[in-house]
Chains A and B, each alone.
Chain A
Amino acid sequence: MAAYLARRLIQAILILFGVSLVTFFLLFVLPADPARQLAGRSATIETVESIRHELGLDRPFHVQYLRYLGALASGDLGRSYQQKTNVSTLIAARLPATLLLMVGAIFCELLIGLTMGIAAALRRGRITDQLLMIVSFVAVSAPQFVVGVLLLYVFAVNLGWFPIGGYGSFAHLVLPALTLGILGAGWYARMMRSSMVDVLRQDYMRTAKAKGLKPGVVLAVHALPNAILPIIAMIGIDIGIFMSGIVVVESVFGWPGIGQLAWQAIQQIDIPIIMGVTLVSACAIIIGNLIADLIAPLIDPRIKLR
């Protein structure tokens, strides 16, 4: 186990290295000039050049990249061009909002997905089952920005149950979390249904029922624990998908997370922020995959950690 984790750690570092190299290169070839963006409209060419020099942007690619890596090795993500603050400070200020949104989304996914999946499995083959599965298909086919705007329109603008975006209270969290979680809820409903159906077919389920246990107890004690592991593994994978979703959801709801930070930084070619957010996201994705891989052998003993 320890050896496995050590190997994964080395792999992760190599992947992060690669991600940083690729992103840095892409931003290097980007047809835009951060120095000029920074110098403002009234700047003379000399000012632009001196800012370029100050940022080290007049150096060749490898020098710039090695410099960045050197700083990164000591935990320094650099300073934002536009905001003139450490990128780590900026990310740290917005990460809690994003994490909260993701926790909320996972909660929605599980609550909605599992409820739908269990209900469908228990009513297998009947109309409820069919309807629930159709709903789950729609959930995975709907773009997040449409879902977000629809929820806003119905529940915030027309019914007035929730604020129309923004940040600051539990009520603010509901709609964005639901939007981010609805895609996963569709998947979980389908996964939960199929694993529940498998479990319900097992002999011990019949035995348990024969012993006169209440259906609710049978479900809670026997069926759920077996059905739930693959779902937990999926949460790991979800983190990667969330990393894309937050850009859209945070922009629709005005949620002050790292998705907004990244989007603004891309508009302004604020390279240190783009690099920082990309690396943080890549870390999250790697950790998520690791969780999924660690759980896999628990689900299916034939899978070995390699």
Chain B
Amino acid sequence: MRNLMLATATAFALGVCAPAFAAGEIVITYKDDVSTLDPAIGYDWQNWSIIKSLFDGLMDYKPGTTELVPDLAESYEISEDGKTFTFKLRQGAKFTNGREVTAEDVKYSIERVLDPATQSPGAGFFGSIDTIEVVDPHTIRFNLNRPDATFLHVMAINFAHVVPKEAVEAAAGDFGHKPVGSGAYKVAEWTLGQRLVLEKNPDYWKPDTPKLDKITFEFGQEPNVALLRLQRGEVDVLGDGIPPAQFLEVKEDPQFAGQIVEGGQLHTGYVTMNVKTKPFDDVRVRRAVNMAINKDRIVRIINNRAVPANQPLPPSMPGYIKDLKGYPFDPEGAKKLLAEAGYADGIATELYVYNTDPNPRIAQAIQQDLAAIGINAEIKSLAQANVIAAGGDGSAPMIWSGGMAWIADFPDPSNFYGPILGCGGAVQGGWNWSWYCNEELDKLAAEADSITDPARAAEREKMWSEIYRKIVEDAPWAPVFNEQRFTMRSKRMGGDDSLYVDPVHIPVHYDAVTVNE
């Protein structure tokens, strides 16, 4: 028994890889495994940015910013009516299998996402596409069914990244584990559940990119373990950020000064109220809820890793209303509103919440605040899928969005509207959990999104601000906070801070970060 055990132990120990310390090689940790690297499928924290480094889309953003730039496309043209987008592809961009990227590939990739057999969570983004035309091998034209101001953003999201048909077919349904792209890196090694190694794509078309030779991702690492390992110099970037429990310690330790990076995030945490059912069909009750929640205290409960919110859009999003006062924290005023609405005797309701820490805690803080104005909200702390189901069939009167909240897919105000606040999402199985449907706003939104002329961008932004101002007035949500991201990098990592909290390449812009030797 013992001998067998020792033999296993030795074999096990030999299999361990020494941490990479060579120049141009870095180690990044994540707690959860990367489930897939298929750009048509991947839609989570770990794989979002890795996919961006393995594949390219027609458009991308300037590293560390939300500024759109052409990527695989060299240039683009938008027709007068905003319904035709023509992209000229870059010459010489190649997949890592050696073949050149052509317009056919772009067409194939997007049609693949739209094919129900792919089961892509991204199909909904391409709703405005009518037909896709390959004009010549390096020109592609999208004919839209309506003018779509967000179309360039849509061409930059992962779902629009370009994949080679032959590799997808060769992978026989397992492209997510055998990815071939035209990105800055390619997969060198992947042990499911343990590690993923990316190496530099030597033929990458973009000059001086990427800056690193090799990135090793290690999975299954608790964030607190990762932090200790970073302090010991075994890890270069914390993929999951600084764990909340260690946050205070680390922040006050002068040893780590300059290594901590803080950044905003296109995220809002909010409470939805089902406007189709009593008592939340009354706007006064919804406003009372907005006034009852002590957002400062909730922010304190999560160690000040967020800023209080008063509107759906996060502050770094275009269209954010800077001068909006929002609802003040005013329990007395809230009580008055409830009494006016005829609920002086109180309300009994339910608050649904996703059952991973810290969400049940936040829900309890909200519960206490609501109790103070006479709303007795019973907490239903359930698995994510159960909460989503309860939101989609309208059986949940209130939902705390934490853990399932909206993080923008692209930095445009329209992205916070359609599925979660518009009429389109307020249907059985939709994601508009407050069931708020204001047809007038839907019309305004459509109008704003038909302004494709870049010269009128400011005008469009203003229209969106007005839409959100009206939403705040109608109060289908109680916005609570906007999460801030806090992460840490080792001393050897270089590059601007913003690359480590990139607003689009979430969480880290792997193509742009560097190592100082």
Contacts and interface: CB of A to CB of B under 8 A. Distances in A.
A and B touch in the complex (CB under 8 A): yes
Interface of A: 30-34, 36-45, 47-48, 50-51, 53-55, 79, 81-86, 89-90, 93-94, 97, 100, 103-104, 107, 110, 163-170, 173, 254-256, 260-261, 264, 266-269
Nearest to B389: A32
Contacts of A81: 119
Contacts, number: 154
Nearest to B116: A50
Given A34-B385, A44-B424, A86-B174, 10 more contacts: A42-B124, A43-B123, A44-B127, A51-B116, A83-B176, A85-B174, A168-B17, A256-B219, A267-B384, A268-B384
A261 B17 CA distance: 24
B155 to A, nearest CB: 15
12 contacts: A33-B385, A40-B121, A42-B125, A44-B124, A83-B36, A84-B38, A85-B174, A89-B192, A103-B8, A104-B5, A165-B222, A269-B383
Interface stretch (B92-100, B263-271, B427-435): B427-435
B124 A33 contact: no
B32 interface: yes
Contact of B193 (A36, A97, A268): A97
Given A48-B429, A166-B222, A43 B392 contact: no
Given A47-B124, A256-B220, A42 B409 contact: yes
A85 to B, nearest CB: 6
B132 interface: no
Contacts of A34: 385
A94 B193 contact: yes
A100 B124 contact: no
Given A40-B124, A41-B431, A47-B124, A173 B9 contact: yes
Interface in B284-322: none
Contact of B388 (A36, A53, A107): A36
A79 B36 CA distance: 13
B478 interface: no
Nearest to A106: B1
Interface centre among B124, B174, B427 (most CB of A within 10 A): B124
Contacts of B228: 164
A138 B219 CA distance: 34
Query: What is the interface of chain B mostly: helix, strand, loop, or mixed?
Result: loop
B225 interface: yes
Interface residues of B, number: 62
A94 B219 CA distance: 13
B193 A170 contact: no
Given A169-B16, A268-B384, A54 B117 contact: yes
A52 to B, nearest CB: 9
B385 A37 contact: yes
B225 A254 contact: yes
A166 B226 CA distance: 9
A82 B35 contact: yes
Closest 10 CB pairs of A and B: A40-B121, A50-B116, A42-B124, A32-B385, A256-B193, A93-B192, A269-B385, A83-B35, A256-B220, A164-B225
Interface string B23-40: 000000001110110100
Contacts of A30: 385-386
A168 B16 contact: yes
B211 interface: no
B381 interface: no
Contact of B225 (A53, A84, A166): A166
Contacts of A268: 384-385
B176 A84 contact: yes
A256 to B, nearest CB: 4
A84 B41 contact: yes
A89 to B, nearest CB: 8
Contact of A167 (B2, B220, B424): B220
A50 B342 CA distance: 45
A30 B12 CA distance: 40
Interface of B: 1-2, 5, 8-9, 12-13, 15-17, 31-33, 35-36, 38, 41, 43, 116-117, 119, 121-125, 127, 173-174, 176-177, 191-194, 218-222, 224-225, 228, 383-386, 388-390, 392, 406, 409, 418-420, 424, 427-431
Contacts of B424: 44
Contacts of B386: 30-32
A254 B220 contact: yes
A266 B382 CA distance: 11
Contacts of A164: 222, 224-225, 228
A84 B174 CA distance: 7
A84 B36 contact: yes
Contacts of A163: 225
A38 B119 contact: yes
B240 to A, nearest CB: 11
Contacts of A82: 35
Contacts of B429: 33, 36, 45, 48
B383 A43 contact: no
A264 B191 CA distance: 18
A102 to B, nearest CB: 12
A261 B420 CA distance: 30
Interface centre among B8, B221, B222, B385 (most CB of A within 10 A): B385
A51 B191 CA distance: 29
Contacts of B194: 167-168, 256
A147 to B, nearest CB: 17
A168 B121 CA distance: 33
Contacts of A168: 15-17, 194
B122 A42 contact: yes
Contacts of A55: 119
A100 B38 contact: no
A223 to B, nearest CB: 18
A82 to B, nearest CB: 6
A31 B121 CA distance: 21
A53 B31 contact: no
Contacts of A41: 121, 406, 419-420, 431
Nearest to B431: A41
Contact of B5 (A86, A107, A166): A107
Contact of B389 (A36, A94, A110, A254): A36
B1 A107 contact: yes
A34 B119 CA distance: 12
A254 B221 contact: yes
B116 A100 contact: no
Contact of B43 (A40, A47, A100): A40
A84 B427 CA distance: 28
B121 A94 contact: no
Contacts of A48: 429
A142 B17 CA distance: 35
Nearest to A268: B385
Contacts of B174: 84-86
Nearest to A251: B222
B430 A45 contact: yes
A143 to B, nearest CB: 18
A45 to B, nearest CB: 6
